[in-house]
Chain A
Amino acid sequence: MAETIISTSELTKKYGDIKAVNELDLNIKKGEIYGLLGPNGAGKTTTILMLLGLTEPSSGSAEIKGLNTTRDSIEVKKFTGYLPDQVGFYDNSTGKENLIYTAQLNGMDAAAAEKKAEEMINLVGLDNVVDNRVATYSKGMRQRLGLADVLIKDPEIVILDEPTIGIDPTGINEFLDLIRSLSKENGITVLLSSHLLNQVQQICDRVGIFVKGQLLAEGSIKDLADQLLEEKEINLNVKIKDYSEQTVEKIAALDEVREIKEQENLLDEIYQHYFKGGEVDARL
């Protein structure tokens, strides 16, 4: 069993009478991708801010690699990268300059910072826009630059807050694939918050369902599904060769099938079909 790298115990944050985060106990293991899944306003961002020491907890504590995140936040931030949901860059500087600045704040000298920045830019595939001002970047490019910015300090832990907001569906897939492969290759622990179920299930090893400041359920997507869906409906997508009425009837004849509906969301399929691969930089 891998060791626990992020843990919180009874972590609570109150704003007035409202408990944004309520006695949260979270344990994240080294090297896993953990998805914090919850609706807007569930307290995901607040939790993340407390993990980074950017906000003080009202009670309880959080530890990363055994360091208290409030008291030793500087130490924690040396190996923890954070991508905020609305990641901001200095618009009047180029992407590269922004990265170099971050690298220098992480203790690299100017030459090393520049080398590292170029390396990261290659990694996230922004080579042809490095010397443009960030003001000209699209949302997807900013998000990639954000990822480069997080990775530039060679983090052991990466915390991503709603990383896929505002990117188109194919862009999301590429972005998530990138995160997944980075995590698996370099053993980086990833904590990812999202309110979009399908993304989270795509890359997360484990998921925590987080509502109104409380963790309602936790486990792999499969475990959670087993717990909740034992006797309930499951929607399956079936790919059919040579679609015909008869095929549908055959499926409907099966004992286990309750209902057959025609797919509603065809647009998504069409989109995925036409935009697969290629022209990535033009779109993002």
Chain B
Amino acid sequence: MPDYNNSFSVMVNKEISDHVKSWKFIIIVALILLTTFASIYSILNLIKNNAAVINQEDNFLFLKLFTATTGSIPNFMTLISFLGPILGIALGFDLVNSEQNQGTISRVLSQPIPRDYFITSKFAAAISLVFLLVFSIGFLVMGAGLISIGLPPTLGEFLRIFIFLFLSGVYIAFWLNLGILFSIIFKQSATSALASLAVWLFFTVFYSMLVNITARSIASNPFDLRSLTAALSRLSPNYLYNELTTILLTPSIRTLGGLSFKQLQGAIPSTLSLDQSLILVWPHFTALIAASLICFAVSYLSFMRKEVRA
């Protein structure tokens, strides 16, 4: 007796195996692994030789694995914020239009499956790959750190890293969803790839400039300027993610905005506990997940309304 309930997992399996076998995935993963290795290697050297200097203010040495930098090679945090979007876009940009150009979409949709399986299975497959990749690389870095500096992470540090990795997954999912959206809107994969990269470039390079110009022309005093700049910047997922990870992995940062002298008076310089850090970035956390979901919702809707022709 045919069992039609397995279709979804069959489709997800197929998507995952397609990704894993594809050259673009292999290349991106190789790129991420290589840069991670280079970054970890240089940071481990740095920590071995200057542990005392690096660790003079607080005792979160293990987090330094992710945040310290030697100048020439960016740290792991920066790497993910840079390569993550590329991974997401690479996984997403041709998911729908390539099937349309190959003519497979109408064949798959004429099988007894709900129409949304087509898009949700692609999403599920790509997202599980992203999380798998991010977590395995993150844990590899932790493992390498454990072996070479011999200092185990505290529970707090481990949780911070775990949340950081999870959020990196969410952040990459945003770009993945953007890629999927463009792969539905544009018929040519090349166009959707370029469009996604253009959005990414806009946010990484030009957005901060735009924000500066706008904020300066509107704001009347330095305090306004500062808060306005921050508010506008936070519309960018890149900025959100960077703030988020910085707060999470650097417990000594205590605030995101400007503090008045009044507020600073009497404050004891110390690190934030994990829950305090989380409270600080909770809005970012929500915004990032929301952005990711909105992107997916829009692509879901536009796919469901799209006319499928061979």
> Chain A contacts of B105 at CB under 8 A?
88
Q: Is B262 part of the binding interface, using a Cβ–Cβ cutoff of 8 Å? A: no
Q: Is A104 part of the binding interface, using a Cβ–Cβ cutoff of 8 Å? A: yes
Could you pull out 30 A-B pairs where Cβ atoms are within 8 angstroms?
Answer: A45-B310, A49-B307, A49-B308, A52-B110, A54-B106, A54-B308, A74-B113, A77-B113, A78-B112, A80-B110, A82-B106, A84-B103, A84-B106, A85-B310, A86-B103, A88-B99, A88-B105, A89-B102, A90-B18, A90-B102, A102-B107, A104-B6, A105-B112, A105-B113, A106-B4, A106-B111, A107-B3, A107-B4, A109-B6, A149-B107
Known contacts A86-B103, A88-B103, A90-B102; A105/B108 CB under 8 A? yes
How many residues does chain A have at the interface if contact means C-beta atoms less than 8 Å apart? 33
> Chain B contacts of A91 at CB under 8 A?
102
> Chain B contacts of A88 at CB under 8 A?
99, 102-107, 310
Q: Is B120 part of the binding interface, using a Cβ–Cβ cutoff of 8 Å? A: no
CA distance A105 to B13 in the complex (A): 12
Q: What would 10 more interface pairs be, CB under 8 Å, given A88-B107, A92-B21, A106-B2?
A: A74-B114, A80-B110, A82-B107, A86-B103, A88-B106, A88-B310, A104-B6, A107-B2, A109-B3, A149-B107
Q: Is the CB of A54 within 8 A of B112?
A: no
CA distance A74 to B117 in the complex (A): 12
User: How many of chain B's residues touch chain A, expressed as a range?
Assistant: 20 to 34
Binding site for A on B (CB under 8 A): 2-7, 10-11, 14, 18, 21, 99, 102-114, 307-310
* 10 cross-chain pairs, A with B, having the tightest CB-CB distances, nearest first: A88-B103, A107-B2, A84-B310, A82-B110, A105-B111, A88-B104, A77-B112, A88-B102, A78-B112, A107-B4
Q: Is the CB of B112 within 8 A of A108?
A: no
> Chain B contacts of A63 at CB under 8 A?
none
> Chain B contacts of A102 at CB under 8 A?
107, 111
CA distance A105 to B105 in the complex (A): 13
Q: Is the CB of B310 within 8 A of A161?
A: yes
> Chain A contacts of B107 at CB under 8 A?
82, 84, 87-89, 102, 146, 149
CA distance A54 to B105 in the complex (A): 11
Contact string against B for A residues 19-55, beta-carbon threshold 8 Å, 1 for contact and 0 otherwise: 0000000000000000000000000010001001011
CA distance A84 to B309 in the complex (A): 9
> Chain A contacts of B6 at CB under 8 A?
104, 107, 109
> Chain A contacts of B309 at CB under 8 A?
45, 49
Q: Is A137 part of the binding interface, using a Cβ–Cβ cutoff of 8 Å? A: no
CA distance A161 to B103 in the complex (A): 13
Known contacts A89-B104, A92-B21, A104-B10; A55/B307 CB under 8 A? yes
> Chain B contacts of A107 at CB under 8 A?
2-7, 112
Q: Is A101 part of the binding interface, using a Cβ–Cβ cutoff of 8 Å? A: yes
Known contacts A49-B308, A91-B102; A75/B112 CB under 8 A? yes
Give the residue name and chain of the A residue nearest to B8 (CB). Answer: A105
CA distance A18 to B103 in the complex (A): 26
For the complex formed, measure the closest distance between the CB of B25 and the CB atoms of chain A, giving whole angstroms.
13
> Chain A contacts of B103 at CB under 8 A?
84, 86-88
CA distance A34 to B179 in the complex (A): 43
For the complex formed, measure the closest distance between the CB of A55 and the CB atoms of chain B, giving whole angstroms.
6
Give the residue name and chain of the A residue nearest to B14 (CB). Answer: A101
Most buried by A among B5, B102, B105, B107: B107
Give the residue name and chain of the A residue nearest to B104 (CB). Answer: A88
CA distance A284 to B21 in the complex (A): 30
Known contacts A54-B106, A77-B112, A84-B106; A101/B308 CB under 8 A? no
A136-181 with Cβ < 8 A to chain B: 146, 149, 153, 161
Q: Is the CB of B310 within 8 A of A87?
A: yes
Give the residue name and chain of the B residue nearest to A113 (CB). Answer: B10
Q: Is the CB of A77 within 8 A of B310?
A: no
CA distance A92 to B308 in the complex (A): 22
> Chain A contacts of B104 at CB under 8 A?
88-90
CA distance A107 to B106 in the complex (A): 18
